[in-house]
Amino acid sequence: MDFSDFYETFFEEAEELLADMERHLLELDLESPDPEQLNAIFRAAHSIKGGAGTFGFDVLQQTTHLFENLLDHTRRGELALRRDIVDTFLETKDMLNDQLDAYRQGGEPDPEAFERICKVLQQIALDEMGQGLEGAGGAAPEATAPQAPAEAPAAEPRPEPPVESVPPAAPAPAEGANLVVALLKVGDKDRELLIEELGHLGEIKGQGGDAERYEVSLATESDRDEIEAVMCFIVEAEQVEVREASAPQPSASAEAEPPIAAPSETASAKTTPPAVVAPAKAADSAKPAAKPAAKPKAAAKGGETTSIRVPVNKVDQIINLVGELIITQSMLDQTVSELDNVSNGALVNGMSLLQRNARDLQESVMSIRMVPMDYVFSRFPRLVRDLAKKLDKDVELVTEGESTELDKSLTERIIDPLTHLVRNSLDHGIESPEAREAAGKPRTGRLTLSAQHQGGNILIEVIDDGAGLNRDKLLAKARENGLSVSDAMSDDEVWQLIFAPGFSTAQEVSDVSGRGVGMDVVKRNIQEMGGHVEILSRPGQGTTTRIVLPLTLAILDGMSIKVGGEVFILPLSAVLESLQPRQEDLYAMAGDDVVLKVRDEYLPVVAVHQALDVAGACTEPTQCIAVIVQGEGRRYALLVDDLLGQQQVVVKNLETNYRKVPGVSAATILGDGSVALILDIAGLHRLNQSKQQVGYEQRRHAPTHHLPQTEKEVEPS
């Protein structure tokens, strides 16, 4: 039976479960842990174990099994939580992640790491409760080849200490009764389905058999009728036989389970007759624990039906189609607006209705791609906790605006830059508790991650209340690195220095940050997403790094400009201002370069008509409009004929049917159905430079007049 189709689902679910687990672990109040949370953590481990067992991921299953047992003790208050125990749990969770990744890549997890984590978990059980973990016999020290668990433990319970001193409460009693479900003459496919269903109902303790009779032993709190009812959805009632496994008699229980897939499990089932070892306690603790475990499970079931997993490309297709609809609608709108309102009243009304519906549709479709920032922020508590510990700092993480939504593709790309900024804040920003105390600040530093919408943008801030950036140090470092700086630079400009490649002011390189690679990468990444980074810093009060991103990449706020007879779009986020250049502010430089002085800043002038060969455009700079734009961290003055206005445009890829065009980032379709090119500012500047270079060469070598290609085409003959 090939499971590979289901693998991906399992991996995704397991990942989500692990993320959940981590969140709960981090939120745990060590003094008085919330039983709901403990249960949630337990359930996560339990579900992963179930899935791992089904798919035959032995190492994962065994690890989760050990983990689950510890968690089980925890949630029943038999194991007091301490910070170091939670740390171990987190480490285990990481290990599970690693194992999951290994399986995902079709490999086997690192056996050494597995062994180590097993020992650690065992140790906790021994130290804290004076007993080993059941099921350890198969998994612990001697399991050097975890992918092929020894048959031995299944055959005979070993008299080894961890196995012998079985804890009174194995997962089985916690889950209720042991049942054996026999499947008679059930095909492979149906059997898998049934086993999966059984997995939902309880914990599969073992399975085996042949097509005639396949037995699954199940620890569940569902009763026989319930199980039969579920099974009957898939097979005939007479194909299913449910009976009680004789739990109180260990030997009987083992016999009742024919060839068993999970040996260590059997060992546990066999040697863990809880009723025998500590009957009263098991019974007592099992009941209350089982109840809360059952309730949220049902809730989760209800939750499943309210969401669907859809491949992103399907969503993108819908978004594209809606984009077309909007374009068609605005084309129609333009036609209708030329009609007489009175005689075409119904049509005009219909059009405005269509417009509203189309916009609503677009908005809701775009919102499908939107995910809350919580998706991003949720990975930071762990990071901050670990880093703070490593750096011996006390840091409190505050997140704000977790529900702010952002395009999924952007959330994925923002994680790395944000991680870097958080690391930086912790490493360089927030001081050590001693230094903070000396500065009259609370010992515990505060790192705030916030997200909010601002117009069509999302504002993500990383705020620390640390020492702030040191202007003098930055300037000194910049000089050392050979950057041209002056003491007259504004604070903003000085802060921007940290984005220069190879720039780091850390006293010494740590493994947290300080290698000087990074901030420039952060900036580049964010610029690639169409956003930009700002830094606000006050000495002694902290630093705020602000990332401004567009909400989505599919739609762009553009400014349409006119050059000659052609319309182009500039990304509005790049436009700073526009002005009419005065002759006295224009300075010619060597060659054909011209710079424009704007508020004491000399900006290279890029004549759009020149870069893009537009005929009939305004060529006299003082007659044109200069649009001051920012691209790749530099500012330029673009010479254009006219500004037409601002509009949202749907970004269309030029490369789908054509290819990359220098100076152009993409295209869009205007309301009249024509195509307009979206300009790439830095590319335009490069284009202009190469043009000037070519022009210069031509004037030098070929005095004959160069006939531009545009003229040739127009000439009729």
Partner 1 sequence: MSEMNAASAAAVDADSREFLVFSLGDEEYAIDILKVQEIRGYENVTRIANAPDFIKGVTNLRGVIVPIVDLRIKFHFDSVEYGGQTVVIVVNVGERVVGIVVDGVSDVMTLTPEQIKPAPEFGVTLSSDFLSGLGSLEDRMLVLVDIERLLTSDEMALVENVSE
* Region of 87-95, 295-303, 318-326, 457-465 interacting with partner 1 (CB under 8 A): 318-326
Residue 707 in the binding site for partner 1 (CB under 8 A): no
Residue closer to partner 1 (CB basis): 316 or 400:
316
The alpha carbon torsion through 337, 342, 346, 347 (nearest 10 deg) reads -20
Region near partner 1 per CB under 8 A, out of 26-34, 238-246, 523-531, 660-668: 660-668
The least CB distance from residue 657 to partner 1, in Å, is 5
Binder of partner 1 out of 238, 657, 700, 703 (CB under 8 A): 657
Tell me which of 70, 449, 676, 678 binds partner 1, using CB under 8 A.
Answer: 676
* From 234-242, 494-502, 546-554, 671-679, span contacting partner 1 (CB under 8 A): 671-679
Which amino acid, 431? E
Q: Residue 295 or 660: which CB sits closer to partner 1?
A: 660
Q: In 3D, which of 570, 566, 552, 557 has the Cα closest to residue 647?
A: 557
Are 582 and 616 in contact, with CB atoms under 8 Å apart?
no
Distance of CA 391 to the CA centre of its chain: 26
Stretch that binds partner 1, among 263-271, 502-510, 532-540, 657-665 (CB under 8 A): 657-665
Q: Which residue among 246, 320, 399, 619 contacts partner 1 (CB under 8 A)?
A: 320
Binder among 102, 172, 327, 451 for partner 1 (CB under 8 A): 327
Who's near 569: CB < 8 A, 6+ residues apart?
Answer: 556, 558, 559, 560, 561, 649, 668, 676, 677, 678, 679
- Nearest distance, CB of residue 706 and partner 1, angstroms: 14
Shortest distance in whole angstroms from residue 21 CB to partner 1 = 44
CB of 573 to partner 1, least distance (A): 22
Which of 147, 648, 653, 698: binder of partner 1 (CB under 8 A)?
653
> Mask 592-621, x = binds partner 1 (CB under 8 A)?
-------------------xxxx-------
Hey, which residues does 634 pair with through a beta bridge? 631
Question: Measured from the CB of residue 662, what is the shortest distance to partner 1 in angstroms?
Answer: 6
Among 664, 678, 681, 682, binds partner 1 (CB under 8 A): 664
CB closer to partner 1 out of 48 and 678 = 678
Which residue, 228 or 333, is less far from partner 1 as judged by CB? 333
667 contributes a contact to partner 1 by CB under 8 A = yes
250: tokens are 């260990």
Q: Least distance to partner 1 from the beta carbon of 320, Å?
A: 7
Residue whose C-alpha is closest to residue 480's, from 492, 467, 495, 497: 497
Distances (CA, A) of 329 to 325, 332, 568, 682: 6, 5, 21, 33
Query: Nearest-5° angle of CA 219, CA 155, CA 201?
Result: 15
d(Cα 676, Cα 691) in Å, to the nearest integer? Answer: 22
Q: How many residues at the interface with partner 1, by CB under 8 A? A: 36
Binding mask 536-575 for partner 1 (x = CB under 8 A): ------------------------------x---------
- Residues whose CB falls within 8 Å of the CB of residue 410, separated by 6 or more in sequence, listed in order: 529, 549, 550, 551, 552, 553
Based on C-alpha coordinates, what's the Rg of the chain?
A: 33
Asked if residue 18 binds partner 1 (CB under 8 A), the reply is no
Nearer Cβ to partner 1 (233/658)? 658
* Alpha carbons within 13 A on the beta-carbon side of 646: 8
By beta-carbon proximity to partner 1, the closer residue of 391 and 661 is 661
Among 283, 353, 476, 675, binds partner 1 (CB under 8 A): 675
Identify the residue whose tokens are 């049934």.
Answer: 194
Q: Point out which span in 217-225, 305-313, 317-325, 453-461 binds partner 1 (CB under 8 A).
A: 317-325
Instruction: Map 536-604 to HEC letters.
Output: EEECCCEEEEEEEEECCCCEEEEEEEEECCEEEEEEHHHEEEEECCCHHHEEECCCCCEEEEECCEEEE
In the beta sheet, which residues pair with residue 297? Answer: none
Interacting span for partner 1 (CB under 8 A) from 80-88, 97-105, 230-238, 661-669: 661-669
Looking at residues 474 to 533 of the shown chain, list those that interact with partner 1 (rule: CB under 8 A). none
Q: Shortest gap between Cβ of 633 and partner 1 (angstroms)? A: 25
Sheet with 177-184, side-by-side order of all strands: 202-209, 213-220, 177-184, 240-244
Q: Does 649 bind partner 1 (CB under 8 A)?
A: no
The binder of partner 1 chosen from 151, 337, 673, 696 (CB under 8 A): 673
Q: CB of 104 within 8 A of CB of 158?
A: no
Which window, 371-379, 496-504, 545-553, 664-672, contacts partner 1 (CB under 8 A)? 664-672
Q: Which secondary structure element, helix H or strand E, spans residue 295, and what is its range? A: helix 279-304
Token representation of residue 33: 């842990």
351 φ, ψ to 5°?
-65, -40
Token duo for residue 174: 């916690």
Question: How near is the Cβ of 369 to partner 1 at its closest, in Å?
Answer: 19
Nearer to partner 1, 341 or 674 (CB): 674
Which residues sit at the interface with partner 1, rule CB under 8 A? Answer: 320, 323-324, 327, 566, 611-614, 652-664, 667, 669, 672-677, 687, 709, 712-713, 716-717
